[in-house]
A and B are shown apart, each in its own frame.
Chain A
Amino acid sequence: MRRYVLGRLLQLVPVLLLVSLIVFAVMRLLPGDPALLMLSGAEGGAITPERLNELREQMGLNEPLAAQYLNFVLGALQGDLGSSIRFQVPVTELILDRFGSTFELAVAGLFLAIVIGMPLGMIAAARQGGWIDSLCMTLSYIGSSMPVYWLGLLLVLVFSFTLHWFPSAGGGSFEALILPAFTLGLLSAGVLARLIRSSMLEVATEDYMRTARAKGLFPRLIIFRHGLKNAMIPVLTMMGLQFGALLAGTVVTETVFSRPGLGRLIVDSILSKDYPLVQGAILFLAVVYLLVNLAVDLAYALLDPRIRYGN
């Protein structure tokens, strides 16, 4: 197992390097001079060629591209992602400040997705073909086909503006987490419900299930007892992917609910061309996403020893 973990970690290194290269390359492709943006953006005032050159020197923009990339990677390894143009604070500081709120939202969303999606999928599988199945699947399709922002707006309209149950904006409190978490969670719940249903039905056709049925066990009981356990593996993988989708979903959700999270920070920084911040925040999220998927893979290997050796 230890060798497997080490192997997986090593595989991560080239991917991370490529990810950083993509982020770096995209930011260098941008039109406009980051130093000029920095001067006109945050400080205003007189922009002289001398000040511009001084700043370019200071930001390392006069060095060859390869050296700039190296500096970027070395800096990133030490947790230095440069300074935000707009806020004039280290990017790392801003990211860490916001990540808590985003992580909280993504976890709450995942929790709701499981709590809602699993029973929905299980009930549908148990009642396969009946009207309950159709109802569950209709709900699941609606859930996973709604635009995130639209669902968020509807929830605000009903639960905040009309019923006054939950606040419509802001972060920091449990009440403020509920609507955004539902917005995110319902979407993943739909995907999850369908996955669980089809995994359980697939398992139901396998040999040992037939044996169990031949032994006279009640069909629904079989599905629950055996099907669920075996359906867990694909579901677990899917949850890793869904967690990434949830992290990404926070981009829109945080904007709708004015939550001070990483997603909203990225959107704002793209709109205001705060490139160091865009670069750092996206790199950070990509790394988090990779690590979550790694953790899922490891959990997967623990559950199913065949994976380790098969690889």
Chain B
Amino acid sequence: MATETLDVGATERPVRLAMGRYFSHPGAVIGLIILVCWILVTIFAPILAPYDPNELVSRARQAPSADHWLGTDMLGRDVLSRVIYGSRISISIGFIAVLLGGVSGVILGLLAGYFAGWVDTVISRFVDALLAFPSILLALVVIAALGASIQNMMIAVGIATLPDYARLVRGTVLAIKSQPYVEAARLVGNSHLRILARHILINVNAPIVVLATLQIGSAILIGAGLSFLGLGAQPPTPEWGLMSAEGRQMLQRAWWISTFPGVAILSVVIACNLVGDGLRSALDPKMRMG
């Protein structure tokens, strides 16, 4: 199966098969639709949002109505507009954090798995040490050091997700690198970098994509949790976690302020999980989703 990747003609069919498997799961399809919708919302936020998300457009704490579909918040800002603009921030937190953690985790994993020896020992121990922290705690440590802001939160969440990639990639590389075609490439005199890129990375990308999709969901959750605790986005940023945090004072009298940003997070995270699980069963036929 691994050798097939070099043969273009042979890859076409597995891809189509995988797509077929993916689209046979209704859950995965629903997840993909939700995710695509949200991505469109982030792109067209200025067109979709009825008001400026930071302007006091109306009386504070108004219940949902025709003018304000999701009501107004503590200060009289339009909740719908803030949820729409908030998608840009919350979703990009997920993507950027996963990108940061993914790239550095993959590099560490590749190096550890490919070079073995002391490189492996050092990297593996380091990753083990990071794994000793439950992920939100690791993010908290980083925030404690860097201070609370959106950028630092992305870095923190990225670092928190890094060890999972490193471990996954290292294991896969160990399995692949003893394959005859990798040995052959080395004997022919290809550089390490070329072997890593052409022969190894290309074969670990499927599990990485699956992991990354699932991680986007959990990165969004961790990010929102940090903002909720006051350790992430700062006012007046329309970040979903922060919006829920601001509205919670008024939970009883104005439930809509906290509730809708929460629904938004819930839908994005569910979508990521559904798509991730769908990809997993599509790319790895042994794991059936049902």
A and B touch in the complex (CB under 8 A): yes
Supposing A157-B251, A157-B255, A201-B288 touch, asked if A149 and B225 sit within 8 A by C-beta, the answer is: yes
Bound Cα distance from A207 to B113, whole angstroms? 33
Instruction: Tell whether A26 pairs with B270 under 8 Å between CB atoms, given A150-B258, A249-B136.
Output: no
Contact flag A147-B262 (CB < 8 Å), given A18-B129, A267-B229, A282-B133: yes
Q: How far is the CA of A243 from the CA of B289 in the complex (A)?
A: 25
- Shortest C-beta distance, B224 to chain A (Å), equals 5
Report B-chain residues with C-beta under 8 Å of the C-beta of A61: none
Give A249 to B137 CA distance when docked, in angstroms. 9
Contact A286 B133 (CB under 8 A): yes
List the A side residues contacting B147 at CB < 8 Å: 31
Contact residues of B between 131 and 160, Cβ < 8 Å to A: 132-137, 140-145, 147
Within the complex, the shortest CB–CB distance from A56 to chain B, in Å, comes to: 20
What mask results when residues 41 to 56 of chain A are scored 1 for a CB within 8 Å of chain B, else 0? Answer: 0000000000000000
Q: Which B residues are in CB contact (< 8 Å) with A154?
A: 259, 262
Are A145 and B251 neighbours in the complex by a CB distance under 8 Å?
A: no
Is A119 among interface residues, defined by CB-CB distance under 8 A?
no
Q: Which residues of B contact A18 (CB under 8 A)?
A: 125-126, 128-129
Q: Which residues of B contact A114 (CB under 8 A)?
A: none
The CB with the most chain A CB atoms within 10 A, among B129, B244, B287, is that of B129
Asked if A161 is at the interface of the complex by the 8 Å CB criterion, the answer is yes
Q: Which of B128, B255, B270 contacts A15 (CB 8 A)?
A: B128
Q: Confirm or deny: A153 has a beta carbon within 8 angstroms of a beta carbon on chain B.
A: yes
Q: Does B74 reach chain A (CB closer than 8 Å)?
A: no
Q: Which residues of B contact A22 (CB under 8 A)?
A: 129-130, 141
Q: How many residues of A contact B (CB 8 A)?
A: 57
> For the complex, what is the distance from the CA of A287 to the CA of B132, rounded to whole Å?
7
B125 touches A285 (CB 8 A): no
Known: A129-B290, A157-B252. A147 touches B266 (CB 8 A): yes
Question: Would you call B102 an interface residue if the criterion is a C-beta within 8 Å of the partner chain's C-beta atoms?
Answer: no
Using C-beta atoms within 8 Å of the partner chain, give the interface range for chain B.
Answer: 35 or more
- Which residues of chain A are within 8 angstroms of B262 by Cβ–Cβ distance? 146-147, 150, 153-154
Task: Report whether B134 and A245 are in contact in the complex, using a CB–CB cutoff of 8 Å.
Answer: yes
The one of A29, A133, A198, A251 in contact with B136, judged by C-beta atoms closer than 8 angstroms, is A251
State whether A244 touches B134 (Cβ < 8 A).
Answer: yes
Q: Judging by beta carbons under 8 Å apart, are B137 and A145 in contact?
A: no
Give the docked Cα–Cα distance between A14 and B124 (Å): 11
How far apart are the CA atoms of A18 and B143 in the complex, in Å? 19
Q: Which residues of chain A from 270 to 291 have a CB within 8 Å of any chain B CB?
A: 270-271, 275, 278, 282, 285-287, 289-290
Q: Which residues of A lie under 8 Å from residue B134 when comparing CB positions?
A: 244-245, 247-248, 285, 289
Known: A137-B27, A147-B244, A157-B252. A255 touches B229 (CB 8 A): yes
Cα separation A154 to B143 with both chains bound (whole Å): 27
Name A171-215 residues within 8 Å CB distance of B: 194, 197-198, 201-202
Contacts of B129 in A (CB 8 A): 15, 18-19, 21-22
CA distance A252 to B132 in the complex (A): 19
Let me know if A30 is at the binding interface, CB within 8 A: yes
Q: Mark B241-260, 1 if CB is under 8 A from A, else 0.
A: 10011001001100100110
Minimum CB distance partner of B267 in chain A: A145
Contact with B along A62-94 (1 / 0, CB 8 A): 000000000000000000000000000000000
Could you list 17 examples of A-B contacts with CB < 8 Å? A26-B142, A26-B144, A31-B147, A141-B27, A145-B266, A145-B273, A146-B262, A147-B228, A147-B262, A148-B221, A149-B241, A149-B244, A149-B248, A150-B244, A202-B287, A252-B229, A278-B141
Q: 8 closest Cβ contacts across the A-B interface?
A: A248-B134, A18-B129, A150-B262, A145-B269, A244-B134, A145-B270, A248-B136, A26-B145
8 further A-B pairs in the complex, CB-CB below 8 A; given A18-B126, A148-B225, A267-B229: A19-B132, A30-B145, A124-B290, A141-B270, A146-B266, A198-B289, A251-B137, A282-B141
Interface of B with A (CB < 8 Å)? Answer: 27, 125-126, 128-130, 132-137, 140-145, 147, 217, 221, 224-225, 228-231, 241, 244-245, 248, 251-252, 255, 258-259, 262, 265-266, 269-270, 273-274, 277, 286-290
